[in-house]
């Protein structure tokens, strides 16, 4: 079963409190989401393999470590996932970015893909699928499935806030996928919003309603 990593660094918890606050406007919300995503990326990439290289410092020749040249891919789920991309790219500027857009079929209630553009070498990349809110888990599970159908193999899911219901769905549908979150909240309400959550992440990010 995939592990759940709760990244509860004090800086992340502080910023999470600010982003949850209903008085936080779109500009600050965007900044906070990117900052938290950057801090989380530090932890999500903790297992990147290192190689030893030889360098010359001004003093002497030395052996030192560098990232092995592993290729990374960031895949935001449209639209709220876009709000995490720039923060991650600040830390990993060479990562490629794929995009996936889903809507819920009003009759079957199944997620349907309406947009998908992935890096061509997706099967060689370590992939981080990002979406701030893991609520029912339906969209995230479908996104992971669509990425796997295109050859994606090493996949992590990174969210800001998760509901226990969403975590359960991902662990059941995709036991190979680890989940990284800043907080696991109490539950979902009748409208599938996370409680206490932060409201609609996409609307707060873009100032829509």
Interacting residue ranges for ligand URA, rule: CB under 6 A: 80, 133, 135, 193-194, 197, 200-202
CB of 209 to ligand URA, least distance (A): 12
Q: Which of 60, 108, 120, 190 does the annotation list as catalytic? A: 108
Q: What is the nearest approach in angstroms of ligand URA to the Cβ of residue 163?
A: 8
List binding-site positions for 5-phospho-alpha-D-ribose 1-diphosphate: 79, 104, 131-139, 200
Q: Which is nearer to ligand URA, 128 or 133 (CB)?
A: 133
| 104 has catalytic annotation | yes
Q: Tokens representing 100? A: 């996936």
Q: Measured between alpha carbons, how far is 164 from 151 in angstroms, rounded to an integer?
A: 28
Write out the binding residues: 79, 104, 131-139, 194, 199-201
Binding-site positions for uracil read 194, 199-201
Distance CA 111, CA 18 (A): 31
CB of 80 to ligand URA, least distance (A): 6
| Shortest distance (Å) from residue 4 CB to ligand URA | 18
- Look at the alpha carbons of 163, 160, 85, 33 in this order and tell me if their dihedral is positive or negative: positive
DSSP of 11-28, one letter per residue? HHHHHHHHHHSTT--HHH
Active site annotation includes 121: no
- Of 45 and 139, nearer to ligand URA (C-beta) is 139
Contact indicator for 84, 158 with CB cutoff of 8 Å: yes
Q: Which of 104, 121, 176, 208 is catalytic?
A: 104
Per the CB < 8 A criterion, the answer to whether 36 and 83 are in contact is no
- In whole angstroms, what is the distance from residue 87 CA to residue 92 CA? 9
Whether 203 is a known active-site residue: answer: yes
For 112, half-sphere exposure in the C-beta direction (CA atoms, 13 angstrom radius) is 8
To the query of whether residue 200 is one of the catalytic residues in this protein, the response is yes
Question: Whose CA is closest to 87, among 40, 43, 140, 27?
Answer: 40
- For ligand URA, the closer CB: 136 or 171: 136
Rank residues 84 and 92 by Cβ distance to ligand URA and give the closer one: 84
Residues marked active site are found at 104, 108, 200, 203
């Amino acid at each position: 079963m995939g592990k759940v990593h709760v990244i509860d660094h004090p800086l992340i918890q502080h910023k999470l409190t600010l982003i949850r606050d209903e008085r936080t406007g779109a500009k600050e919300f965007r900044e906070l989401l990117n900052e938290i995503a950057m801090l989380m990326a530090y932890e999500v990439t903790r297992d990147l393999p290192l190689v030893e290289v030889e360098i010359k410092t001004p003093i002497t020749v030395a052996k030192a470590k560098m990232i092995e040249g592993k290729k990374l891919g960031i895949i935001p789920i449209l639209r709220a996932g876009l709000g995490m991309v720039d923060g991650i790219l600040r830390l990993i500027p060479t990562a490629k970015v794929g995009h996936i857009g889903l809507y819920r079929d009003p009759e079957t209630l199944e997620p349907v893909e309406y947009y998908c553009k992935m890096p061509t070498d997706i099967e060689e990349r370590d992939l981080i699928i990002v979406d701030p809110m893991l609520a029912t888990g339906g969209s995230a599970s479908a996104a992971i499935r669509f990425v796997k159908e295109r050859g994606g193999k090493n996949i992590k899911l990174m969210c800001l806030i998760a509901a226990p219901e969403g975590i359960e769905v991902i662990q059941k549908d995709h036991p190979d996928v680890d989940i990284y979150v800043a907080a696991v909240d109490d539950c979902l309400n009748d409208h599938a919003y996370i409680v206490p959550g932060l409201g609609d992440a996409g609307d707060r990010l873009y100032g829509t309603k």
